[in-house]
Every structure is written in structure tokens, then in C-alpha cells.
Amino acid sequence: MRSSRSHSKVARSAVAAGLLPLLLATAAAPATAAPPAKAQEDASYGQAKKNGLRTVAPDDLVIGTAAAGGGHHLTAGYPDPFTYDKQYRKILNAEFNSVSPENQMKWDFIHPEEGVYDFAAADAIVANAQANGQVVRGHTLLWHSQLPAWVTEGDHTDAELEAILKDHIQTVVGRYKGRIQQWDVANEIFADTWDAGGVRLRDDPELAASNIFIERLGPEIIGKAFRWAHEADPEAKLFLNDYAVEDVNTKSTAYYELAKELLAEGVPLHGFAFQAHLDLQYPFPASLEANMQRFDDLGLETAVTELDVRFTLPESGVPTAEQLAEQADTYQGVLEACLSVEDCNSFTIWGFTDKYSWVPSFSPGQGAATVMFEDYERKPAYYALHETLAQASGEEG
């Protein structure tokens, strides 16, 4: 019930004041003072098991993270994190009650060859979630990126391409029927405002990130994708998902208009999701709550699906206390927006430890974007989330 999360906002200045000793200690502590990695990880797991984010969250809000694997991890100097890092998995299970495959359900991973599916990694995530009382967000079905060459370079007719997409959606969604709570059905289908021509569906072959399905089959394929997913699992909630839509802006308004059109056509669209990959060099998205509310007013659920907060690191590579404080404030602000909207029922951070964050691989010079350091020591951002969740659910004071 909504009353379980009647939101009394934590004053950010108070949170910052409470975190000041931690900030100073984090900035001042010499590297030699750190405990051995194994001891640090064990302590982190113990803390999560006893008092993790999932233990203090309101009953009607799931707290999630990405399960690290695939993508940039494949070329990193470590084995697959979710599969082989038991300590990582233990903390993930203790802290979170929702999990999103980071790459393991994307096309190139789960459908690498025509007619060939590889479900092993995704199956492991879903099975682990069931064993640990977690829900799963499926990610993603219709996207322009991480498509295998057999799709983008294949000699398929339009009819064959549509049949390929339908088979993919219904095979993948159908396999996990009843075991996945939400699906990102259509992901990043609009071009960005900084692309030539402004916001539009990714249907321009001159765009580096054009969507072959929309380009070849037209924008009506979006509604078909939702209908096919709904046929495969009528209980799953189906979402549009994108980045750079946190503020009320041209791109988010394009999605707002699209959502109205899809709903008017009877398309089984259930929610709109804000990725929220944020960067401290840009202002906080001040209209986030109002933006979420207008989708809520359409009768859609909303979700924060990929939150991380990056910044440019000092030459030392060590974040300053000021950077950590601003990062904490940003994480808290996004959570407060979600808590303030009736049907924002899912809040996911895109990884919880810098050990496996995607940010340094894609944005050299930036990093420290998650709520824990590489050794699982918690940052001020973690404690800001924890305190805000606890107060929202009445667990404090």
C-alpha cells in the first residue's frame, strides 16, 4: 500500500552533515590503513546481510542493481563477475531484491547466431534471483545496439526481418514467463537532441546508431514488439526505456507523445523507465519528479533503471570528499523523486561497486560512479540511499 512509503524527505543538508565524518575519513585515510581485501569484503557482506538496502526499503519499492557480465567485462582482466566472483554475488543478493542482467539478455549475448540461442548466463541470473527472493528486470528486446552481425549484415527481406524479431521476443520472453517482473521492450528508440535533425525515431541510415528494425519495418514495429512480448508473458510489465530523458525536455516529451499514441492504440505499454546515467559536470535534472509524474498521470508505472553518477577523477584517481558529497546528493535526489511518485515501484542502480563499473571503459578519465569502492567499502552515496529508504519506510526514528 502507498501508506507504507508516505515520503518525508530527508533534508539533504542534514544527510550531508551526518556523512561529514565519513567523508573526511574517506578522503584522509592512507591506503596502508585499509584492511586486507578479503576481510573488507567479508565485513561488507556481513553489513549487507544484517542491514542492506533491501532490508530498509518500503514494501512497494524494489531496490535493484545490474548483474555484472558480458559487454566490456569480456575483455577485462578477470573472469565473468556474476559467475565467478562469489563475494560479489553474495553482496548483490544481500543488498538488493531486484536484479537486471547488465548484458546477458542483450541480442549479441543471448542470440549470437541465427536460429541459435544461448540462455546459460541469463538462466543463472534468473535462478539465482528466485533462490534469493529477488525479482528480475529483463533487458532488452528492441534496441539498435549490441546486435549480432547476422542481424545487421544479413541478407534478409523485410518480412524475414520482422519474423526474426518476433521469434526473438517471443522465444526470450516466453522462456522466462512468470519469472521476470518487468521488460525493457523498446530501448533508446529516439535519437538524441545533439544528433543532426533533433529528436526522432532511430530510422535514419545516416545515424551511427540507427535501429535496423525501425529503419526497415517502420515505427509501427514498436507497437508490435509490445504486443508480441505481452502474448509471450501476459503478466510481465512492459516498458519504454532511455537515457537523457530525466528532465522535461524534447526527448522525454517525444516519449510522452509516443506513450499516449501507443496507449490510444491499445498497445500493452505499462511503464516508462528513466535510465539516469548522470554526470556531475551537468546540473541535476530538476524537473525529474514532474517528468515522472506526467507519465504516472497517463496511468503508467515509472522506474529508475540504470542509475549511476560519474565524475572526472583528480589526477590521483581518488575522489575528493566534495565529489563524494555531491554524488551522494545526486543519488538521493533521484531516489526522492521516485519516492514522491505514486507508481514508481522499481529503483535500480547500474552496478554497485566500482570494481565492475562500465564507466571507465566508455568514459576515460571518469569513474567512481557507483555506491561502493572496488573493495566494497560503502560511499556516502550508499548511506544517503540507505537513510532515505529507511525514513520513507518508517524504519528510522
Distance, CA of 102 to CA of 387 (rounded, Å) = 26
Distance, CA of 265 to CA of 267 (rounded, Å) = 6
Distance, CA of 138 to CA of 84 (rounded, Å) = 22
Sign, CA torsion 148/153/154/159 = positive
Distance, CA of 176 to CA of 105 (rounded, Å) = 11
188 an active-site residue? yes
Which residue from 312, 327, 296 is spatially nearest to 363, judged by alpha carbons? 312
Q: Tell me if 376 sits within 8 A of 353, measured CB to CB.
A: yes
HSE-CB at 59 with a 13 A cutoff on CA atoms is 6
- Between CA 309 and CA 319, with CA 315 as vertex, the angle to 5 degrees is 35
The C-alpha cell that represents 217 in the structure block: 519495418
Annotated catalytic residue within 41, 95, 306, 326: 306
The C-alpha cell that represents 117 in the structure block: 540461442
Distance, CA of 298 to CA of 271 (rounded, Å) = 9
Annotated catalytic residue within 41, 95, 188, 336: 188
Distance, CA of 186 to CA of 144 (rounded, Å) = 10
342 an active-site residue? no
Known catalytic residues?
Answer: 188, 306
